[in-house]
Amino acid sequence: MSARTSPGLAGDRRPAPPPALRVQDVTVRFAGLTALGAVSFTVAPGSVHALIGPNGAGKSTCFNVLSGLYRPESGRVLLGDTELTGLAPHKIAALGVARTFQNIVTTEGTVADNLMVGRHVLTRAGFAASALRLPGAVREQRAHRDRVREIAELTGLGDHFDTPVALLSYGDRKRVELARALCLEPRVLLLDEPVAGMNGAERARTAEVVSAVRARLGLSVLLVEHDMGLVMSLADEVTVLDFGRTVAHGTPDEVRRHPEVLRAYLGTPGADPAPAAAPAPGEDPV
Ligand code: ADP
Ligand code: MG
C-alpha cells in the first residue's frame, strides 16, 4: 500500500520528501488576454516557494491550473513523474496537492466538523458503513478524528477543536482553511494569500504555523502572498510574475534587488519592493 492510500494516522511519523512540482511552459488565455504566457518554475521537494507579483499578474490563475480548475492551453504540470495537467481537481487532491482559496473563509460547523470534511477524500469505509456505525467504520472514524485533532494542534486550533468556527477570530477562521487542506495529507500545499486581511499578530501566528507545518510534515509549500515581510522570511525561492510572464526567479535576497522586480512593483528602478513593515490588513501594497 502506498503512502498516499495509507493516510497519516500513525501520528508523528515523518513521510518521505515530496516529489518536485514542475510547472513547464504553462499558457492560459482568457478571450485574448494572456493570463499566463509560457510560465515555468519548479517547487523543490520540501521547500517553501513563493509566487509573487502585482495584482493581475496571474498568480491565482496559476493556482487554478495547478489544482485542476483551469486547463492550460499549452504546457504541463508534473508532480514527480506524474502528469497533473488536465486532471480533475479531486484527482489532483488525491495525488497529494491541496490548496486554500484567496477569498474563502468558512462560517459553518465546528473546527472539528470542518477538518473532518477535509478528511473525506481519505475515508475508505464509505458513507453507508459510517452511517450504519459498522465496527470497522467506527474505528476508522476514530483514527481520522485523532489525526484531525493532531492537525488542529499543529495549526494552533487545538483549544478550539469543538468551537463553532463562527465564534473564532478572523485569523483563526482563515487558519481553519489551512488546517482543512492539511487534512488531505498533502505532499504539496498551495496557499493563496493565507494572511490576507489579518492583523500583525495574526500574520505572525500564521507564519509560525506555516513554518511548523513544513518542518513537521515535510511537505512543499507554494505560497502566493502580498505581504513581502512574510514572503522574505518564509520562502526558500521566489518566482516573480508580471502580466503573466516570469520576470525574476531566485532567493528572496536576489529577487528583492532584481531590476525587473523593482520595475514591476513600483515602476521606479532603485525602489525597494520589500518594505520591513507589512501592509495594513486587507490593504494591497502594490
Ligand atoms: P493575480 O492572482 O496575480 O492577481 P489573476 O490570476 O487573478 O491574477 O488574473 C490574471 C489575469 O487574468 C487578470 O488580468 C485577470 O483579470 C484575468 N482573469 C483571471 N481569471 C479570469 C477569468 N476567469 N476570466 C477572464 N479573465 C480572467
Ligand atoms: Mg489572486
- As a whole number, mean pLDDT of residues 68-95 equals 95
Is there a domain that residue 59 lies in? yes
pLDDT tens for 93-135 read 999 999 988 776 778 899 999 999 878 766 655 556 566 666 7
What does the alpha-carbon distance between residue 195 and residue 175 come to, in Å, rounded to a whole number? 9
Determine contact, residues 240/261, Cβ cutoff 8 Å.
yes
The total number of structural domains that make up the chain: 2
pLDDT tens for 236-263 read 999 999 999 999 999 999 998 888 888 8
Let me know whether 132 and 264 are in one domain. no
Let me know whether 140 and 275 are in one domain. no
Let me know whether 194 and 166 are in one domain. no
Is there a domain that residue 7 lies in? no
What does the alpha-carbon distance between residue 139 and residue 157 come to, in Å, rounded to a whole number? 24
Let me know whether 36 and 139 are in one domain. no
Is there a domain that residue 143 lies in? yes
Q: What is the pLDDT of residue 2?
A: 42
User: Helix, strand, coil proportions of the chain in percent (round to 5)?
Assistant: 40, 20, 40
Please tell me the pTM assigned to this model. Answer: 0.85
Q: What is the pLDDT of residue 119?
A: 83
Q: What is the pLDDT of residue 271?
A: 47
Q: Cell numbers at residue 224, please?
A: 502566493
Domain extent at residue 64 = 18-96+186-286
Choose which residue among 61, 102, 239 to substitute to test ligand 1 binding: the one with the highest number of ligand atoms within 8 A of its C-beta.
61
Q: Counting ligands in written order, which one lies closest to the CA of residue 239?
A: 1
Question: What's the 60 CA to ligand 1 centre distance in angstroms?
Answer: 7
Question: What's the 13 CA to ligand 1 centre distance in angstroms?
Answer: 39
The residue type found at 32 is G
Is residue 177 very low, low, confident or very high in pLDDT (cuts 50, 70, 90)?
A: very high
Residue among 232, 205, 237, 197 nearest 221 (CA): 237
Is there a domain that residue 214 lies in? yes
Residue length, the chain? 286
Let me know whether 283 and 192 are in one domain. yes
Ligand 1: nearest atom to the Cα of 64: 6
Is there a domain that residue 54 lies in? yes
Let me know whether 205 and 138 are in one domain. no
Let me know whether 151 and 193 are in one domain. no
Question: What's the 193 CA to ligand 2 centre distance in angstroms?
Answer: 8
DSSP state of 53: -
- Evaluate: CB of 239 within 6 angstroms of ligand 1: no
Let me know whether 153 and 259 are in one domain. no
What does the alpha-carbon distance between residue 26 and residue 62 come to, in Å, rounded to a whole number? 8
Ligand 1: nearest atom to the Cα of 241: 3
- Evaluate: CB of 67 within 6 angstroms of ligand 1: no
Residue among 11, 2, 9, 4 nearest 140 (CA): 9
- Evaluate: CB of 60 within 6 angstroms of ligand 1: yes
Last residue of a domain, one of 183, 204, 231: 183
Let me know whether 167 and 196 are in one domain. no
Let me know whether 66 and 130 are in one domain. no
Ligand 1: nearest atom to the Cα of 61: 6
Largest CA distance in the chain: 66
> Which domain CATH number covers 26?
3.40.50.300
Q: Which residues have a Cβ under 8 Å from the Cβ of 121 and sit 6 or more positions away?
A: 90, 93, 94, 184
**Rounded (10°) CA dihedral 277, 177, 65, 25:** 40
- Supply angle C-alpha 281, 166, 214, rounded to 5: 60
